[in-house]
């Protein structure tokens, strides 16, 4: 009888210890404020991961088209003002049929509602209009954006100029190791094949998938554009680490740290979370 009581007590203690350990892990994760930051000099600007993913797409389309970082600055600042960098499916009193990242309107010839809600289509449509603006590279962002958008509030674009420039500089690869994301642990396993497909659709097919890792042979500004794209998409694609140019970003650290990375860009996705790590956890 005494042995049975001791065994019950021991099992209760073990169960309590496991519960406290899991609770501590989960509490720590819940307290993480997820964000992506672009830093230029002493200035740093934050976006939510979903916003950073859209900013990365906007900048990536500029890189793929061979446009200058200035074009990406104008586009990102415009999308911040128009939609908060979210692909929204509604308009406002001034434009009830406005949709998407840039709040483009079918009634003004931007395309169908379905097309405008495709972020790649919408971004290309914005750039198609921007490159027709004479001297857009030297114009103030307010003037360049307003010429494209014909907004009822043209001065508002200037409010986001510095933020747009910081994210464009990072996401076009002009500024090395300048974009980081602080994220919670991945809730599900990632797919290196899915990363390869999405990255390849934007920047072109390249690289090799080996298990949970994708390696692409890139360097210089192109390499940093792709590396920062991967960090900005880490939340959506369950990316665990990004290594490039002897630096590595990981979810656990949330910053670029020195590492022996070899050549090219390596992106590694998260494995399936353990049952204990998943217990009681919510993004909530």
How many C-beta neighbours within 10 Å does residue 2 have? 6
The total number of structural domains in the chain stands at: 2
Chosen domain end from 171, 199, 225? 171
Examine the domain organization and report whether 148 and 195 are in the same domain.
no
Examine the domain organization and report whether 244 and 218 are in the same domain.
yes
Examine the domain organization and report whether 156 and 205 are in the same domain.
no
Burial of 260 (0-12, 13-18, 19+ CB in 10 A): exposed
Examine the domain organization and report whether 160 and 268 are in the same domain.
no
Helices (H), the chain: 2-31, 49-65, 69-83, 113-116, 119-130, 141-149, 161-171, 192-203, 220-232, 234-237, 275-278
Examine the domain organization and report whether 59 and 158 are in the same domain.
yes
| 3 state SS of 18 | helix
| pLDDT higher than threshold 50 for residue 70 | yes
Examine the domain organization and report whether 193 and 101 are in the same domain.
no
So what's the pLDDT on residue 216? Answer: 97
So what's the pLDDT on residue 274? Answer: 55
Examine the domain organization and report whether 138 and 199 are in the same domain.
no
pTM for this predicted structure:
0.84
So what's the pLDDT on residue 152? Answer: 63
Q: Is residue 283 one of the residues assigned to a domain? A: no
Question: Which domain does 235 fall in, by range?
Answer: 30-34+183-278
Q: Is residue 176 one of the residues assigned to a domain? A: no
Examine the domain organization and report whether 75 and 161 are in the same domain.
yes
How many C-beta neighbours within 10 Å does residue 232 have? 31
What percent of the chain shows pLDDT beyond 70? Answer: 83
Q: Is residue 113 one of the residues assigned to a domain? A: yes
Min mean pLDDT across 5-9, 32-36, 69-73, 178-182 is at: 5-9
Average pLDDT over residues 192-196: 97
Examine the domain organization and report whether 51 and 84 are in the same domain.
yes
Q: Is residue 11 one of the residues assigned to a domain? A: no
Q: Is the dihedral of CA 256, 260, 263, 265 positive or negative?
A: negative
Which pLDDT band holds residue 141 (cuts at 50, 70, 90)?
A: confident
Fill in the DSSP letter of residue 191.
-
So what's the pLDDT on residue 30? Answer: 57
The tens digit of pLDDT for each residue in 37-65 reads: 999 888 999 999 999 999 999 999 999 99
The C-alpha atoms of residue 264 and residue 47 are separated, in whole angstroms, by 27
Beta bridge partners of 181: 36
Examine the domain organization and report whether 44 and 162 are in the same domain.
yes
Q: Is residue 58 one of the residues assigned to a domain? A: yes
The tens digit of pLDDT for each residue in 128-138 reads: 999 999 999 99
Q: Is residue 16 one of the residues assigned to a domain? A: no
Chosen domain end from 147, 171, 195? 171
Residue 53: C-alpha distances to residues 119, 129, 131, 258 (Å): 11, 23, 24, 25
Q: Is residue 104 one of the residues assigned to a domain? A: yes
Min mean pLDDT across 22-26, 60-64, 220-224 is at: 22-26
Examine the domain organization and report whether 122 and 234 are in the same domain.
no
So what's the pLDDT on residue 15? Answer: 52
Average pLDDT over residues 97-112: 94
So what's the pLDDT on residue 41? Answer: 86
The tens digit of pLDDT for each residue in 234-265 reads: 999 999 999 999 999 999 899 999 998 888 99
Q: Which of 119, 108, 190, 197 is nearest to 148 (CA)?
A: 108
Min mean pLDDT across 66-70, 149-153, 262-266 is at: 149-153
Chosen domain end from 138, 171, 204? 171
Q: Is residue 12 one of the residues assigned to a domain? A: no
Fill in the DSSP letter of residue 210.
E
Examine the domain organization and report whether 62 and 156 are in the same domain.
yes
């Amino acid at each position: 009888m005494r042995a049975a009581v001791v065994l019950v007590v021991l099992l209760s203690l073990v169960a309590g210890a496991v519960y406290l350990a899991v609770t501590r892990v989960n509490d720590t994760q819940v307290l993480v404020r997820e964000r992506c930051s672009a830093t230029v000099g002493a200035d740093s600007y934050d976006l939510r991961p979903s916003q950073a993913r859209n900013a990365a797409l906007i900048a990536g389309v500029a890189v793929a088209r061979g446009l200058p970082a200035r074009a990406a600055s104008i586009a990102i600042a415009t999308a911040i003002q128009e939609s908060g960098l979210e692909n929204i499916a509604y308009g406002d009193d001034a434009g009830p049929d406005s949709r998407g990242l840039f709040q483009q309107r079918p009634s003004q010839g931007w395309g169908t509602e379905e097309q405008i809600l495709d972020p790649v289509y919408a971004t290309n449509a914005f750039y198609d209009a921007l490159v027709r603006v004479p001297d857009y590279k030297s114009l103030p962002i307010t003037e360049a954006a307003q010429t494209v958008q014909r907004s009822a509030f043209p001065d508002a674009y200037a409010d986001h100029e510095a933020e747009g420039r910081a994210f464009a500089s990072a996401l076009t690869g002009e500024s090395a190791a300048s974009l980081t994301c602080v994220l919670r642990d991945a809730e599900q396993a990632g797919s290196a094949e899915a990363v390869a497909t999405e990255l390849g659709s934007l920047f072109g097919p390249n690289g090799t998938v080996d298990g949970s890792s994708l390696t692409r042979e890139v360097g210089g500004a192109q390499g940093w554009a792709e590396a920062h794209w991967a960090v900005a998409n880490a939340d959506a694609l369950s990316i665990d680490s990004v290594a490039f140019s002897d630096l590595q970003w990981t979810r656990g650290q949330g910053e670029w740290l020195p590492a022996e990375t070899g050549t090219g860009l390596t992106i590694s996705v998260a494995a399936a979370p353990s049952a204990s790590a998943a217990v009681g956890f919510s993004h909530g």
